[in-house]
Amino acid sequence: MLWGISYFSYSVHPQTGGYKNIHQWKTTALIDSAKAHNSKVFLTVSNFGKKNNTIFLNNPKAQNTLIDSISNLLAYRNANGITIDFEGIPKNTKDKFTKFIVLISNKLKAINPEYMISLSLYAMDWNDIFDIHHIDPYIDFYTLMGYDYYGSFSKTTGPVTPFITSNKFGKGLQASVQNYSNKGVNFKKLIVGLPYYGAEWYTNSPETGANVVEFKSHPSYKSIRKAYIDSLKIPLQFDPTSASSYIVIKDNDSTFRQLYFEDVKSLSIKYDWIKNTKISGVGFWCLGYDNGYPELWDLLYEKFSKEHNKNSTQH
């Protein structure tokens, strides 16, 4: 079912370009499984935060060390390339980030022309960090992180991935895709990533878009199913504007919890739109968040499997 997996992650040490952590990249059987099923394997390169990105992007030596280190790790697992996931890039380092993308793409492709370079795009590029016109020749595909429109930072409750722009929830997935299309991202090179997790808040009201008292957590799909839907039998609700599912838990007369997440119903609407818009594909964060519940795999099969579509045509 999977065209590719992106292993998270080579966490960059910004001062040196070496890694703080590569987790089980060298040993995980996940990569062997992926290859056995003809799935491509990418190593995510992550660097988060304004300070870390400023340090790294102002350090050519660290950048070259990173590229050498990455090329060794790709060769070690016979991988297919990298996913660049740099978040919190300051506006004043935009040009240096652009140059880094060109550098790492050129150097890795000089080592192996088959290596693919992917770039993770923010849901909303508020600081206009991505110079698509300049970097596009060096990027094989883009992965839109189509989530966290609402989260721990939110003052009101709302969907992790609102679908269309609305007065209530603001801009959503369609606006993000249109924004990157306007910047020059070709849909043939775009994968839209969607969340297999939710966002939960404490509120004083059961109404959608209520003021947040406190953020609680980002539970995985399997946790939501197990803890709330299967065990507590809390009724599932659906917001048609954002095409998102949610539940409201009443703790007492004045305290509530609101939890927004994606499920078969909400994902089905978004998948159909992705297909109709001729976007190249869909991704999700992250593998295993639905472990034990096959319905999300079944939906992917129904919507995207060539085998299923071929059988459907025959019938």
- The larger pLDDT score, comparing residue 313 to residue 205, is at 205
Give the model's pLDDT for residue 103.
98
Q: Where residue 310 falls among pLDDT bands split at 50, 70, 90?
A: low
For residues 313 and 237, what is the distance between their CA atoms, to the nearest angstrom?
33
Across the strands, what pairs with 260? 199, 246
Mean pLDDT to the nearest integer, 139-163: 98
Q: Where residue 308 falls among pLDDT bands split at 50, 70, 90?
A: low
Mean pLDDT to the nearest integer, 279-295: 97
- Token match 């300049």: residue? 134
pLDDT digits (tens, 9 = 90+) for 178-221: 999 999 999 999 999 999 999 999 999 999 999 999 999 999 99
Half-sphere exposure of 240 (CA within 13 A, CB side): 0
Percentage of the chain with pLDDT > 70?
Answer: 97
How is the chain split into domains, by residue range? 4-194+263-314
Number of neighbouring beta carbons within 10 Å of residue 69: 19
Q: Where residue 315 falls among pLDDT bands split at 50, 70, 90?
A: very low
Whether residue 311 has pLDDT greater than 80: no
The burial class, CB within 10 Å (0-12 / 13-18 / 19+), for 245 is: buried
For residues 176 and 165, what is the distance between their CA atoms, to the nearest angstrom?
10
- What global pTM score does this model have? 0.95
Identify the CATH assignment for 4-194+263-314 out of 1.10.3720.10, 1.25.40.20, 3.20.20.80, 3.30.920.30: 3.20.20.80
Whether residue 52 has pLDDT greater than 50: yes
For residues 234 and 186, what is the distance between their CA atoms, to the nearest angstrom?
42
Whether residue 153 has pLDDT greater than 60: yes
For residues 242 and 10, what is the distance between their CA atoms, to the nearest angstrom?
34
CB 197 within 8 A of CB 287: no
R_g of the chain computed on alpha carbons? 20
Give the model's pLDDT for residue 42.
98
Q: Of all helices (H) and strands (E), which one includes residue 275?
A: helix 264-276
pLDDT digits (tens, 9 = 90+) for 233-264: 899 999 998 999 999 999 988 899 999 999 99
Residues with Cβ within 8 Å of residue 263, at least 6 apart in sequence? 221, 236, 245, 295, 296
For residues 86 and 142, what is the distance between their CA atoms, to the nearest angstrom?
13
Question: CA quadruple 9, 10, 13, 14: dihedral positive or negative?
Answer: negative
